[in-house]
Structure 1
């Protein structure tokens, strides 16, 4: 038995059409029929993967950068941020001048204050972009922002005060206090720089690699039994945890340090091509 771990955007999902190629769906069905296990390994929490769940049948989900592991419909591992830390994260929005994007089992949450949007006008466009995209994926948590809901991780958008690096023409008089934010939260979270002022916050002890390790242990498998499929730098930890790695045709150069099998692009049937070449189907 082998375990296959798939990133979503740019790997399984064509980011232009927001669909999974039929060839990939067929290949996943075939490998599962051979007794192999297929998992989605995503930075998104399960509440933000509703659209993906409707597109493909798999054996499980490694969600929220490993903060929840779901196998055959049951949660076998779950980590939630404490209420105290969650409150501090929400307060950090106005305190440090950052746009806070919360992610939990029920979906995505964000509620920037009027003063934050006034001081950082670029945040309105970012918020609208996230809101509209996630609304289309049915990934919004309907619970009131000040209500009782759980989160496992979060992201932030920062502002350099100059309108630089974000693809937007909004300049503000104030820059985000990223140094202050780091000092308060670096001991609790891995702070991952995703570029253009956007950062992903993953609780210490978690990540895509930790998720693979935990699931392999749960299944009684070794890294040599594991195959990872990815395209970006947030797949590095997953590549480290797997003995066999597949990089999509368009991929971050950093992944080449793991000597992956380089397949075709997602829209060129790259998933099915790699699975056939590696005797997974």
Structure 2
């Protein structure tokens, strides 16, 4: 059996953050051919379910924080250490950096999150008038359009309760803030960091990651490394590439993924996932 693991943002989703009819149909063709297909994303499971619109396939979510089989049955979860999470949340709040907390049912965000990012963008506009502000803001708004997002007044309080916490996601237009945050994270040995975009830091349990979760799912089905096909575009897909025998980079992928790839497909706006699946099914990809 073969396993195709597909990232979402920048990969399966187009610039409008939807799954095209072409990509959806290609996934169904792969399933009909007896191939196991899974989504492997930084997004939350409930958000992925909404995007899939009834397509019943395994879901690796929160960068490996949860692994669900077909039928949404839970295979495993990797939780963030509460104390370490609280420490980094306090740091982010002290530096006025927007972040979200991923739990079982919600993406928790601060009430003032949108205005905080708007203020950053205004500063950036003054310093860099030639930047395409509309495109930058559109990228930020992707965060607020995710299914399950829930603004709360005291976001740090979530770490004092009993909620399962899988990931924190930071978003900032201030690259210096992000640079300092990355340095701060190095002091937290129970946490790891990755990214799905220039303005994003994703904070995970050190034992989490897409690669670990993909290996677990493949093992459940008895699928060998040489039969795993990973498709992605961003730094948080690198761990998938480390455990996959076939590494498919999108045309819009970062250079590091392309350098490690066994194949470069079309971009996410050109149905690159469908293009690769059709190459595989037709025997044109060896």
TM-score under structure 2 normalisation? 0.77
Q: Are the equivalent residues in 2 in contact too, given 1:40–1:58 (CA < 8 A)?
A: no
CA distance in 1, matches of 2:240, 2:28: 22
Aligned length: 264
CA distance in 2, matches of 1:62, 1:153: 13
Give the equivalent residue in structure 2 for 1:207.
209
Unpaired runs of 5+ residues, structure 1, are 167-173
Give the equivalent residue in structure 1 for 2:185.
182
Pairing 1:198–2:200 present = yes
Alpha-carbon distance, 1:42 to partner: 0.3
Superposed, 1:10-25 pairs within 5 Å as 10-15=10-15, 17-25=16-24
CA offsets, 1:72-92, max 9 Å, x none? 110100122233334333322
Structure 1's 130 and 89: CA in aligned 2 closer, same or farther, altered over 3 A?
Answer: farther
CA distance in 2, matches of 1:91, 1:10: 30
Alpha-carbon distance, 1:243 to partner: 0.5
CA distance in 2, matches of 1:193, 1:122: 20
Q: Are the equivalent residues in 1 in contact too, given 2:197–2:234 (CA < 8 A)?
A: no
Q: Are the equivalent residues in 2 in contact too, given 1:47–1:108 (CA < 8 A)?
A: no
CA RMSD of aligned residues (A): 3.5
Q: Are the equivalent residues in 2 in contact too, given 1:49–1:139 (CA < 8 A)?
A: no
Alpha-carbon distance, 1:131 to partner: 8.0
* Greater mean deviation of Cα atoms: 93-102 or 238-247: 93-102
Superposed, 1:122-271 pairs within 5 Å as 122=120, 132-141=141-150, 145=155, 146=157, 148=161, 149-157=163-171, 165=175, 178=181, 181-182=184-185, 184-185=187-188, 187-192=189-194, 198-271=200-273
3-state secondary structure, aligned to 1:278: helix
Unpaired runs of 5+ residues, structure 2, are 125-136
Alpha-carbon distance, 1:269 to partner: 2.9
3-state secondary structure, aligned to 1:110: strand
TM-score under structure 1 normalisation? 0.79
CA offsets, 1:124-183, max 9 Å, x none? 999x978853443323147774354321111234686xxxx48xxxxxxx9985377335
Q: Are the equivalent residues in 2 in contact too, given 1:98–1:159 (CA < 8 A)?
A: no
Superposed, 1:77-88 pairs within 5 Å as 77-88=76-87
Alpha-carbon distance, 1:18 to partner: 2.3
Alpha-carbon distance, 1:110 to partner: 2.3
Alpha-carbon distance, 1:94 to partner: 3.5
Structure ranking higher on relative contact order (CA contacts 8 Å, 6+ apart): 2
CA distance in 2, matches of 1:101, 1:211: 22
Q: Are the equivalent residues in 2 in contact too, given 1:231–1:251 (CA < 8 A)?
A: yes
Alpha-carbon distance, 1:189 to partner: 1.3
Q: Are the equivalent residues in 2 in contact too, given 1:191–1:200 (CA < 8 A)?
A: yes
Which structure: greater helix fraction?
2
Structure 1's 32 and 100: CA in aligned 2 closer, same or farther, altered over 3 A?
Answer: same
Q: Are the equivalent residues in 1 in contact too, given 2:78–2:208 (CA < 8 A)?
A: no
Structure 1's 175 and 135: CA in aligned 2 closer, same or farther, altered over 3 A?
Answer: closer
